[in-house]
Structure 1
């Protein structure tokens, strides 16, 4: 029997269920990534997890029930994480290279059309991927993500402001010095995380496993030192004006308390020609752990409609 985690509402995820097939896929530069495939359904849900710099454990485990509903599920450890290669080359940590990594995985598995589920950073990369390779997209689920980072940064400032003026000043002082490890600064980040990333008493095991394998230099290069201070290459990225090209059905998922706020989700939804949105009232950045039963049903309803009309 596999290890299991019991989530909210008594929902169970199996942490260590072995893949039905694994693949080593070349992604350029002599590097390879590990890909996991579950189930034999005639329609494939491709998961792209957040981070960047996290192994896929945290996103893979709570979505394995899709296999029981008749879908094939494919997910991979992005380059620099998990069982994939870990090159020490900062030039690799770019959005464009990750887009080509996704294409290499889908091409290697001959996945011509997929339902693409991108969470957080996986949504940013997914949006960029879909704009580059639209022919592979049957539908999309953009979970806890944004398409306009400058707008997101204004939302983050609003969330930081709720901590109080003196606390914000303290954070800005340490940020100006680059002293992100100071105990006072880190205490505020931890509290913000509890409010806006993970409103749970402890991390579920799959999330803890991903956190243990965190490749921080990748996150720092793309995003920044933490979720509330962006210094990386993604900070000016904005694709809102390109979302009219998403002609496929797209489900936007947000948590009411998410650091990538409902306002970020609404900006995506309002720009989509064929979109819908669901905001989970008791969730922050991971409704699949915070409201697992409702989250799972939302996914199955959306995917089932695509199956019925496809």
Structure 2
């Protein structure tokens, strides 16, 4: 289903004196605005997975967030906070005159989409929360559960190197690699857009906001929890996750319970953190059905 393709249009958007690069595929009033994960990743992996939806009459828009990809990369840690990123998303939406959009947030992009929906609900036709959470303290407890599956001696080793600040040790990195292949992408060969995004990762935003890796949250978002505010959402919401996702089905369920009846939840049994690559034949029909039912 997914395939790499050149954007139909490419824009430069100025945000507080910094340049952002925005990619657009297709045309029309049904706009899917994609917010990719990271923080600090170029949008390639999410953009290239979803761009083909232009063939279904959906305009797909994605952009390299500040500090990533072809956008400017200022060296200023004060820029790496979720409030500034919400303002950035709104400026992109206004600059391209997108109107009300379907907002798709994956991973960190899901936290950003939730925060955006709290402050700009009138700008959304629907909200798609992919492999994400509304409560990071709960996620941290889930990550501890996933780490524990490696065995008590491995967990003790990881905790020792974390306490020492020696996260580059080969033993520690081996444990992280195993967790990544279990809970980030379970494909033997990771798709080219994924490898391209990971190969151009700006660790500045990532370490400031999240932490040094996918399984240790010590950044400025470690206490972020918006479940209470999500109870006020009125827009249709689709929640997706993978059975083996690092941002687990238990995290997805907490969002579903907070959102009551207007949220739909789908768990893809053969996926971890990227069902659009791991299980596209199951994932895309769910997404397309949701978008078609919530056109407006």
Shorter-chain TM-score tier: over 0.9
Q: Which portions of structure 1, spanning 4 or more consecutive aligned residues, are displaced by more than 3 angstroms? A: none
Residues 1:44 and 2:23 are matched in the alignment: no
**Aligned ranges for residues 190-229 of structure 1 at < 5 Å?**
190-229=177-216
**Aligned ranges for residues 1-310 of structure 1 at < 5 Å?**
11=1, 13-15=2-4, 17-28=5-16, 30-273=17-260, 274-307=262-295, 310=296
Shift of 1:65: 2.1
In 1: Cα distance, 2:66 partner to 2:130 partner: 21
SS in 1 for 2:222: helix
In 2: Cα distance, 1:20 partner to 1:172 partner: 48
User: 1:6 corresponds to which residue?
Assistant: none
Query: Greater CA deviation, 259-268 or 32-41?
Result: 32-41
8 Å CA contact 1:41–1:67 kept in 2: the answer is: no
In 1: Cα distance, 2:129 partner to 2:222 partner: 19
- State the TM-score, normalizing by the size of structure 1: 0.94
In 2: Cα distance, 1:42 partner to 1:103 partner: 17
Which 5+ residue runs of structure 1 have no aligned equivalent? 1-10
User: 1:8 corresponds to which residue?
Assistant: none
8 Å CA contact 1:53–1:218 kept in 2: the answer is: yes
In 1: Cα distance, 2:131 partner to 2:209 partner: 17
8 Å CA contact 1:142–1:251 kept in 2: the answer is: yes
Shift of 1:249: 0.5
Shift of 1:203: 1.3
In 2: Cα distance, 1:41 partner to 1:70 partner: 7
8 Å CA contact 2:3–2:52 kept in 1: the answer is: no
Give CA-to-partner distance per residue, 1:137-187, whole Å, 9 cap, x none: 110110000000000011011111111111111100000011110000000
In 1: Cα distance, 2:252 partner to 2:198 partner: 25
Shift of 1:218: 1.2
In 2: Cα distance, 1:91 partner to 1:243 partner: 27
Give CA-to-partner distance per residue, 1:36-70, whole Å, 9 cap, x none: 11101221000000000000000011101210000
Shift of 1:22: 1.0
In 2: Cα distance, 1:200 partner to 1:66 partner: 23
SS in 1 for 2:221: helix
In 2: Cα distance, 1:41 partner to 1:65 partner: 14
In 1: Cα distance, 2:164 partner to 2:267 partner: 37
Which 5+ residue runs of structure 2 have no aligned equivalent? none
